[in-house]
Amino acid sequence: MNKKAIKKFKLFGIQFINGDFNIAINELKDGGLMVVPAAPALIDIYNDQEYYDALLNSDFAIPDSGLMVLVLKIFKFIRIKKLSGLAFLDKFLNENILKENHCLFLVDPNEKEATLNQKYLKSLRILIKDDDHYIAPFYNKNNIVDYVLLKLIEEKKPKYILINLGGGVQERLGSFLKNNLSYQPGILCTGAAIAFFTGQQVIIPRWVDKLYLGWLWRCFSNPRVFIPRYLKGFKFILMLLKEPIKLKEIK
């Protein structure tokens, strides 16, 4: 299929979309691996080659990091449109195509999350059943393969796979599926985003997310976890300043 040329940009070799949510959703309709790398995770790409390889193997990333967008705008005079992973998932889950039977398949971290996710999706009138979920085992980060999951997806052939696992794991698993499936579904690595809708994560008001202040909201909600994580942002700023970036049209 010939795709319409759209604006993207490469940063650290990773291909990001520079547009709107509809562009990302349309890209996924043709299949592919979508990642949503956070700034704290991008800091470690040169120390974690397998994670970095998974990001490079993605078909596109969405620029969820407000810090990245602001640094590029202020210091490099490059305007990139921030696409919140949370807002993206909210829009995606309201797509009519998801109301088709067995269209969506979830990889969940545990039974409790699977039950809550199913309840939430049913409230959106998405046709999802117990066998449309897979409870992920504890993966070895250095070698993430799952042939049980691979076989299950091959049998069901869902159009979309939503991976609700932690950063650094979901991207590796998504890359494994992309490289080994006999067909090309849309694979979404949105991590814990769905947990904000089910109440398992602290709810971030839309105005906070829109103002790029989600990181601050998280720091107040759980300072012990998030403050050390976001302090790494200073290193990320230096990485961004050194890295070349180029907007381009890609078909």
Per domain, the residue ranges of the chain are 6-243
Q: How many CB atoms lie within 10 A of CB 115?
A: 14
pLDDT of residue 2: 44
Contact 63, 17 (CB under 8 A): yes
pLDDT digits (tens, 9 = 90+) for 72-97: 888 888 888 888 888 899 999 999 88
Compute the CA torsion angle 74, 13, 66, 117 (nearest 10 deg): 170
pLDDT higher than 60, residue 121:
yes
pLDDT tens-digit map of 55-67: 999 999 999 888 8
Q: Which percentage of the chain shows pLDDT scores above 70?
A: 83
- The closest alpha carbon to 174, from 131, 136, 121, belongs to 136
List beta partners, residue 106.
Answer: 133, 162
Residues 19-44 have a mean pLDDT of 89
DSSP label at 5?
P
Higher pLDDT, 48 or 223: 48
As a whole number of angstroms, the distance between CA 249 and CA 251 comes to 7
